[in-house]
Chains A and B, each alone.
Chain A
Amino acid sequence: MSMLAALHRHRPRLAVSRWSSWLLVIVVLGYLLYTPLVSVPFANTQKSLIFSYALVGLGLNLLTGLTGQISLGHGAFFALGAYLCAVLVGNEGWFYLSAVPVAGVVGFALGYLFGRPALRLQGLALALVTLALALVTPSVIKRLDGITQGREGIILDIAEPPSFVSLDQDQWIYYVNLLILVAGFVVCERLSRGHIGRSMIGVRDNENVAMTLGIRPATVKTRVFAFSAAMAAIGGVTYAYAIQFVGPEAFGLDLAIAFITVIVVGGLTSNAGAVLGAVFIVYMPSWTQEINQSAAGIGYGVALVLCMLVLPAGLIGLVRIVGHPLVRRVPFLGPNR
């Protein structure tokens, strides 16, 4: 029991010295920049996919982790982004990068319109409404078959590398997605600290107290919802780059649960955790598919239950359990040494 209590204890983010955090950033970025040059196309596509799930995870982390609002429906905004990209770039011939701002703006607007009434609900009711949104998404796509080509889906051939670089398409898309993820990560990191981040946490922990401090909970919640919808839509665009195909069946309940798994397994309230969670949901099926085709689903399920019962802080909680003693003991790793 004491072991369980130790795992449950809340741990703050690691306080590492400035130079060691820069060192970590350089090592991670260096690895990420180098690895596509020496990997097979499949591995690059897999990593590009991780980047698009991580974008969704970052937005959901702000919404669920920091602001405390559940959404099971971000698959709908993800699908929106993917289809915007497929239709505008694939069918209409727009420049492929233009899909990113368009998806961001449309995702924000639709997220705002949906969130405005929906966020009057709390907890369970909000979960139900957003779950319904996720379940309706495939049938909406099929219904709009004039635009979306219904069940057949849209096959794409977009995001060609420009002529001045000698990269293959999978490598180029990897770098494009990585760049978008890094930009999204920096934005979310800025948002989750400082005044905005503290108002989100205030709304999560006690709305009444937050209100007395001059924060409007409804406004904060709706804006965060809209922002996370925009992140999901941009994630959808990068998904369309990576997979080069969009079809209705990819955007149903399974995807909604996958997104929840991203933030839960990674660790709620941590941006780095959202990225770790995305790594988990992409690689776990490829580790387990040798056992049985059902093993991946069981793995997701067990991970969700275990995280809630044993490790509420997710993978990032594990990192902190190992990291805190290290930071304290190893010279130059901690702050002010």
Chain B
Amino acid sequence: MRVVVPFIQSILFLLILCTLPQLALAQATVTLSGYVRDATDQGVLPGASVAVPALNTGVTADEKGFYSLPLPVGRHEVVISFIGYETVAREINVNRTQRISFVLPQIANELGEVIVEGSGTLEQKLQTTQMSVERLTTREAKLLPALFGEVDLLKTLQLKPGVQNGGEGTSGLFVRGGSSDQNLYLLDEAVVYNPSHLFGLFSVFNPDAVQSVDLYKGGFPAQFGGRLSSVVDVKLREGNTKKLGVSGGLGLISSRLTVEGPIVKDKGSFILSGRRTYFDVFTRQINKMNIDDPEYNPIPNYYFADYNAKANYKLGDKDQIFLTGYYGRDVFGFNSASSFNFDFTWGNTVGALRWNHVFSPKLFVNTTASFTRYEYDVTNKIDQFSFNLASDIRDIALRTDFEYQPNERHTLKFGATATDHIFGVGRLQAGSEDGRLDIGSDVSYRGQEAALYASDNFKPTDKLQLEYGLRLTGFQSGSDGYAGLEPRAAARYSLTPNTSLKASYALMYQYVHLVTNSGASLPTDIWYPSRKSVKPQRSQQVATGVSFLLGGGQFLLTNEVYYKWAQNQIDFKDGAQLFVNSDLDEEFLFGKGWSYGNELYLEKKTGRTTGWVGYTLAWSQRKFAPQRGTTGINNGDDFYPTYDRRHNLTVVVLHRLNERLNLTGSFVYSSGAPTTLPQGRFVFQEVYGAEAVAVPIYPDRNSYRLAPYHRLDLGLVWNMKPNRWFDESDLTFSVYNSYNRRNPYFVYFDQVEDPDTEQVTGYRARQVSLFPIIPSVTYNFKF
């Protein structure tokens, strides 16, 4: 163990946490518990409110839609509400601990009430200790305009304060100054290692299959760990338990189809959902049309497809099992008329089996066994030579999470996780048909990661609420091991019924690292374990915030300030050999990073006009001192990473014109991205006397700023009347980049040539933009 861990102290602390509630005020109460579900498809409704207004008490359903509400014996009016659903009030004679599940009907027209967020009411958001979290449901994301009409939950999250994108149109997330590999993507509690298709232009999460996404930017609850900067918790839908249904959509570049229905009515359901792009359909036709043109350079075939499946079944009153599967692939192929063939595939495979057991209304357990694999495979054949390069990461994980509510003042969460990782860093096979060339290399490692955690949500008074916890983590790879203690704390104090102060602290360790020097999400990025000379990444974050409920509860204004500092941040030597390198450790460079900022957020969730305005003022910096025979990065001086943005403004407005028409718009502005441009050049002739070339000389890292980025997207959703084919259908019109702004994607230097002599006469700087104005239309249906 390289980090000395006071294990006994840690265990004692965890035990103290577990026993704390028993020391709290004893009060004779009974507990009402159960699930809150959608009346139509029986899907659970995380975040739904179950309250007894007369007692000024209530709880929010957890991420599984389960609630547990301690109440004094007596007859109470229980009010169940959730944005987008009709509020239900039921009078219940509570004389014993009992389980009652509620169903909420959707508001008659799905889009009758425009919804921005589904995390419950603004008042609930004001009252919770959890800060720095954003929840989004597919229903909401589908209302917003999208690039090519492809609804993308991760891109919608980029519209939230503190979240940056990785470039024009990409779905990667850079949260509060963290890099893109510092996000933990969970799909029904199984890790997803590469959340993107096609350079990150699309995320792997098919919106038709997803129920909701929670993004934690800070104040991380103790049950989450393993990445420094964020947790993206994606929950799949469970399928309609009442009747068989089909839904789908036809878009500009892809189509989707979903089938769902009961396995046994009211006991179990399933959902199968798939989508596929059709780039390759067009490119094959174009190639076919040009087959006789000897000058024609064929366009490679490319498509991506992903499939989601989920089934659940109630084994009894107290047990339910869930089975989740995901399979996605990007397929790229190039077969030339000559003997050059190139095939490149990559994607994730994910499976999770979850068992949900209610011991009692006060004690609930969720146990998940999961498998995940991300892999890429490159096969290249030139004449008699063939090459194959592959890499993958495979996890088998088991986790169990308990939730225990001994009384109305305490909610305890505790559990454990264990993961076995196999890092297939690189596998190369090269050979020739005659056997004269035969090279093989396989670099792989194994690692085991485990965690134990406990936390308590404690309400000492009606005004003060605390959440504190501890997470004990460890990682072993071969003879190298690391461990760490991760304290977590959050507090909320209600100054007035409409004003809350919040604060949080979290320490995080990350034991697996993404090996990439591209600064973008590429399919060839590989994951690497912590080893003897590759220490775990570590970060700490403090955040404070204040929230005001304004306009009679219609608006919530939140301001959060954060500071995050991190050690053992990873970058790579210039010219690092990242592929099939058994000494990859030697290519790493280690440094520190820090970021800070202020996030201002005004949101409105009800009424004909809803939306939000977010403004972030932020700084993010890194420093890599001279080391390992190098001058470090940027000669050891501080530098801004490419995702640093000083100002970021987002405005999202959704307006219901009438029962069938909804108008939406989003505007984003962000300061220019840092980039590195060559300062100078020199002439290099080379040894063999070929034409001389200009070699760029790069000065300080990221010392140039691109032009600011801004864009306005507009959307219109037209809900059509039911017809003989479809119960529901809509046409969604989107205009991406509606004023056709030429936003910078990258800048390069180009030589200017005399068209007659082809002599170089000068140099110029060129800015490349990716997406001009792009109108699109998508047709969605359901029957």
User: Is chain B a partner of chain A in the same complex?
Assistant: no
**A residues in contact (CB < 8 Å) with B:** none
B interface residues with partner A (beta carbon < 8 Å): none
